[in-house]
Chain A
Amino acid sequence: MSNILVELSNSMAAATEKAAVSTVLVNGRRRMPASGIAFAPDLILTADHVVEQEDGITILLPDGTQAAAKLAGRDPGSDLAVLRLDGGKERLTPAEPAREARIGQLVLALGRPTDAGIEASLGVVSAMGGPLRTPHGSIDKYIRTDATPYPGFSGGPLVDAEGQVVGVNTSGFGRGVVLTIPAEVAWKVAEQLARSGSVKRGYLGVRSEAVELPDSAQKDLNRKQATGLLLVSVERKSPAEAGKLIVGDILVGIDGQPVPDHDALFAHLTGDVVGKSVPMEVLRGGKPQVFMVEVGARP
């Protein structure tokens, strides 16, 4: 017999099987295996807190074979780490990241904590939020789900009904809370970790608060932007001071992109921007001006 219930069941099982091909067991600490996601043919994305050693890490691949791996890079701030298979072996089937999550959508949390096969639990996307302060830094966005996080699920994927990865599950932010780092954030971090071993976070040396922009200022900017960031202090000898920003400026854009709030500022200060000279658009005395600021690295 076939009805919509059976169809749904089959598609959930198929999504599990599809994502299982890219979900590995990560043995990176004593006695407590966790999970990981194939990110490239030789790279595994996992949770930072489950990797307590830099080499001699063993990976159980979906086909049941073992492989050795080393730490390629870690970012405790987002609790993400990237492992590289030893000897340039390209044996993994990379997972596919999903489009942005929606509250209420069906998801499966997957893990491979034992050699008995893939494990799954069902839930929905319960909430999305961010930025969030974490014990060692911050993440721009997070997802919460009511799917049961079984032991060893950290580093494993939260997948949608098509088996694409919505995010990376981790219990590493403490207080017994399990969060999911959205795929768009995790993939960006993973790419940087694979390239340079760490995530550089930008630093300007300003304190700011969001303020409304008057209509006249929006007219001068030639765009609709309701808010900007008023600089309430500029640290001495900071990148912002060197770039001639002063207290009272309203930061409205970075590198041609609008900066309406702190989230946008965070987003523009993460990644490849560190060490580069970037045009910063401010309102000074109500008029738009652009200053070149060399973004520093957060100490």
Chain B
Amino acid sequence: MNATALLNAALDELLERVRPVLALVSNGRHGTGAGVLAGDGLMVTNLHVVGRARSVKVLLDDDTSYDARVIASDPNVDLALLQIPANGHVGAVFSNSTPRPGELVYAFGHPWGQRNVLTGGVLSAVTSLRGRHSELAVLRADVQLAPGNSGGPLLNATGEVIGLNAMIFGGDQSVAIPASLIQSFLAGARKEKQEAVL
């Protein structure tokens, strides 16, 4: 096999591995977005995908669908946490490594409602956006995104989630919430959940 064939085989393998963690999220009112399974029946997505809904419909890769409860959200990082009434689903691996500009990245989502679309590019910048109240650390990539990609994972070449695709500027530039912010959001939400159970 030549290098291109090897690359394609590696990409097929990556796709097969990440497919089970990607879900379609719809709040029943406007459009759809994506979500990423995070283990224990938890799913992370963008808050702007969920909107003000308290529960949303999610469709998993195996075509099972659930009503998912919105159990936590943080408008500062545009993240929401969903709970589905099912366990045993594999969760995504969130990257702990420092993102490197120039590394290969893949956005996985449902652009224009088309399921499981992978678009490739490189990580363009590790930067920040100035919000109304604070600076938000973000990743930028040159992958093609469209409505329906929001809440979907930005993956590195090993298939780890390095960010959650959140915004599109001018069609050719994506902004993703970095994995470090997702992980601290998840940790905070898990802690609250535990306290609520106790």
Instruction: Give A residues with C-beta under 8 Å from B.
Output: 1, 3-6, 8-10, 12-17, 20, 108, 114, 116-122, 147-148, 150
Q: Is the CB of A117 within 8 A of B102?
A: no
Q: Give a binary string over B160-179; 1 marks a CB under 8 Å from any A CB, 0 the rest.
A: 00000000000011000000
Q: Is the CB of B157 within 8 A of A9?
A: yes
Q: Is the CB of A13 within 8 A of B100?
A: yes
Residue of B nearest to A19 (CB): B102
Asked if B158 CB lies within 8 Å of chain A CBs, one says: yes
Supposing A13-B102, A17-B102, A108-B102 touch, asked if A120 and B126 sit within 8 A by C-beta, the answer is: no
Residue of B nearest to A159 (CB): B102
Supposing A5-B7, A13-B103 touch, asked if A150 and B124 sit within 8 A by C-beta, the answer is: yes
- Find chain B residues with CB under 8 A from A12 CB: 102-104, 122
Asked if B118 CB lies within 8 Å of chain A CBs, one says: no
Can you name 28 A-B residue pairings with CB atoms under 8 Å? A3-B6, A4-B3, A4-B6, A4-B7, A5-B11, A5-B157, A6-B158, A8-B157, A9-B104, A9-B157, A12-B104, A12-B122, A13-B100, A14-B102, A16-B101, A17-B100, A108-B102, A114-B127, A117-B127, A118-B125, A119-B125, A119-B140, A120-B125, A121-B122, A121-B124, A148-B142, A148-B173, A150-B124
Choice from B6, B101, B157, B158 contacting A118 with Cβ under 8 Å: B101
Q: What is the CA–CA distance of A118 and B127 in the complex, to the nearest angstrom?
A: 10
Instruction: Give B residues with C-beta under 8 Å from A.
Output: 3, 6-7, 10-11, 13-14, 100-104, 121-128, 140, 142, 156-158, 172-173
- Find chain A residues with CB under 8 A from B127 CB: 114, 116-117, 119
- Find chain A residues with CB under 8 A from B7 CB: 4-5, 8
Q: Is the CB of B10 within 8 A of A122?
A: no
Q: What is the CA–CA distance of A80 and B40 in the complex, to the nearest angstrom?
A: 57
Q: Is the CB of A3 within 8 A of B13?
A: yes
Q: What is the CA–CA distance of A12 and B99 in the complex, to the nearest angstrom?
A: 13
Supposing A3-B10, A121-B142 touch, asked if A9 and B124 sit within 8 A by C-beta, the answer is: no
Q: Is the CB of A9 within 8 A of B101?
A: no
Q: Is the CB of A8 within 8 A of B104?
A: yes
Q: What is the CA–CA distance of A49 and B103 in the complex, to the nearest angstrom?
A: 30
Q: Is the CB of B6 within 8 A of A116?
A: no
Supposing A108-B102, A148-B172 touch, asked if A6 and B157 sit within 8 A by C-beta, the answer is: yes
Residue of A nearest to B106 (CB): A5
Q: Is the CB of A117 within 8 A of B104?
A: no
Residue of B nearest to A18 (CB): B102
Residue of A nearest to B3 (CB): A4
Give the residue among A20, A114, A118, A120 with the most B Cβ atoms within 10 A: A120
Residue of B nearest to A2 (CB): B158
- Find chain B residues with CB under 8 A from A10 CB: 103, 157
- Find chain A residues with CB under 8 A from B14 CB: 5
- Find chain A residues with CB under 8 A from B158 CB: 1, 6
- Find chain B residues with CB under 8 A from A3 CB: 6, 10, 13
Q: Is the CB of B100 within 8 A of A122?
A: no
- Find chain A residues with CB under 8 A from B13 CB: 3
Give the distance to chain A from B23, nearest Cβ to Cβ, in Å: 24
Q: Is the CB of A116 within 8 A of B100?
A: no
- Find chain B residues with CB under 8 A from A121 CB: 121-122, 124, 142
- Find chain B residues with CB under 8 A from A148 CB: 124, 142, 172-173
Q: Is the CB of B102 within 8 A of A116?
A: no
Q: What is the CA–CA distance of A252 and B124 in the complex, to the nearest angstrom?
A: 49
